[in-house]
Amino acid sequence: MDERTSPEEFGLLFKRFLDDIVNRAEVPEGPLLKRLREHLGGEPTRMPVISEEVQRFEQPNLQVAMDAYLEQAGHSAELIGLAAENKRNWGLGLSDFVSRGTSPYSLRLAEGPVDWVNFHLDGDRVLPVVQFGLYLVKVNGAPLIAFVSGPNENMGPRGGRARIEVMAPEKAVAQAFLKDVTALMRERNVYRGKIVSLEPQQFGFGPQTIITFHRLPKVTRDDVILPSGVLDRIDRHAIAFSEHAGQLIASGRPVKRGLLLYGSPGTGKTLTIMYLAGRMQGRTVLLTTGRGLGMITAVTQMARILAPSTVVVEDVDLIAQERGMPGVQTQPLLFELLNEMDGLRDDLDILFVLTTNRPDILEPALAARPGRVDLAIPLPLPDADARRRLFALYARGLDFKVTDLDKFIVRTEGASPAYIEELLRKAAVFGAIEADGASKAVRVTDKHVDQAMDELTEGGRLAERIAGFTRPGDEGPPPGPMGPSGYPTTVVRRFS
């Protein structure tokens, strides 16, 4: 270098010198790459990699599918982990493990512990799922490698998915493996026959779907107090269709159907759904309410996979108000719901159950079109006979010593079943306070029911209507909390 060489030029020349030294260096082959080469019986760097991505909530299905696949005759595998600094942040793929790269630092990978994550399923079941691991698989003597990695939010929107990558000497072997595992994911689906709900939640760079398992209370036919013949019609439309689905399909009759339950709050819509869920054992039930209403497309796609299934859409008026109503913008979710209910294959046993307190504002293309809603059932406020049966139902377990029940039957005209249930709950509290632990069974007398009615009506008509008590002359739905637009927002009753 002479005196005319600038510091910048010197730096450039020095960098080129270092790059040349690095490129001439022999990259040491790590033991992991050697083991992969021995397993595959060839050079991994020249073998194709086929990958499949799945949603976060599908990770348990991928795990049970892998386990089931490896239990089959002629199939075996050894699961190994990978040790690398910040491996979860690199977004490494199978090709990264077998590629020498351009730097002697590109093979700082070695065998290590397998990373697992627990998924909590229905009941107390916990399923350990591989989060970062490498399966060395033999399929009837043919070798392949399957790399499973869980979601990585550090890698942007697509990092929210799990991934399985497969390498084999023959591309057809890798494709067949993925095809079989995908089929097992559908067959062994952990959500099949369960009661679940889908809800969006934000993770890292993008929204993810969270699936929650539910255990509904056992509701018998005697627990559902409806006018004579109403429950028979519901049973016929919901249950009988499924019981004879094979015959109906064979005769060219569609078994996809829709049921609309409408009525004032507390008249038994959710209770009827719980009853149907208990009667139709082994059927997947997808509950859609609250924020889950924005996931109609995902819910119906899941319903197709898990058929026979029931899709419950509570308070459907929140997304399906009639188009063209003054001051109301058409919900994009309405078109999704219409398309999904219309577009499902007719030979799938899928039951849509929609509920609303406001049938008067529903989109006619939804509520008045066979093929979407085939049966609309009004659930009226109970008459005197029904109220008497409701008192008997909700007095179970109490030492019920009411002498003038007729008085309360008259006083509760216009009350919903939910109101009568709450009335007896409060009466039981007053009875328990008076007894002060004197007996195990709570005694409820006329005085306690009077006290409960006084407390429920203490707030005037607003309190009565919120509690589900409608008097002659009342119009419209009960008041609810005001939404951002200034219109009343229907209170969503969640399953628990």
Query: At 284, which CATH number?
Result: 3.40.50.300
Query: Residue 284: is its pLDDT beyond 90?
Result: yes
The span from the CA of 288 to the CA of 341, in Å, is 14
Average of pLDDT values for 317-341? 72
The span from the CA of 403 to the CA of 45, in Å, is 87
Extended strands (E) in 97-152: 110-112, 115-120, 126-139, 142-149
Q: Where are the alpha helices (DSSP H) in 5-132?
A: 7-24, 31-40, 59-71, 87-90, 94-98
SS3 call for 74: coil
Same domain, 71 and 180: yes
The CB density around residue 19, as the number of other CB atoms within 10 Å, is 11
Same domain, 295 and 356: yes
Highest-confidence range of 133-147, 315-329, 465-479, by mean pLDDT? Answer: 133-147
Same domain, 390 and 297: no
Same domain, 402 and 432: yes
Query: Residue 477: is its pLDDT beyond 90?
Result: no
User: Is 2 a member of any domain?
Assistant: no
User: Is 420 a member of any domain?
Assistant: yes
**Residue 15's pLDDT band (boundaries 50, 70, 90)?**
confident
Question: Treating both helix axes as pointing N-terminal to C-terminal, what angle do 417-435 and 446-456 enclose, rounded to 10 degrees?
Answer: 120
Same domain, 131 and 263: no
Question: Treating both helix axes as pointing N-terminal to C-terminal, what angle do 384-394 and 417-435 enclose, rounded to 10 degrees?
Answer: 40
Query: Residue 419: is its pLDDT beyond 60?
Result: yes
Report the relative pairing of strands 110-112 and 142-149 from DSSP bridges.
unpaired
Domains in the chain: how many in total? 3
Q: How long, in residues, is the chain?
A: 496
User: Is 328 a member of any domain?
Assistant: yes
Report whether the peptide linkage leading into residue 308 is cis, meaning its omega lies within 30 degrees of zero: yes
Query: Residue 33: is its pLDDT beyond 90?
Result: no
Same domain, 227 and 302: yes
Query: Residue 434: is its pLDDT beyond 50?
Result: yes
pLDDT of residue 158: 55
Q: Of 378, 409, 430, at which residue does a domain stop?
A: 378
Q: Please check whether residue 230 is in contact with residue 248, taking contact to mean a CB–CB distance below 8 angstroms.
A: no
What range defines the domain where residue 400 resides?
A: 384-467
pLDDT of residue 203: 55
User: Is 488 a member of any domain?
Assistant: no
Q: Of 166, 187, 208, at which residue does a domain stop?
A: 187
Tokens representing residue 4 in the block: 């005319």
Highest-confidence range of 44-48, 324-328, 333-337, by mean pLDDT? Answer: 44-48
SS3 call for 169: coil
pLDDT of residue 481: 35
Query: Residue 482: is its pLDDT beyond 50?
Result: no
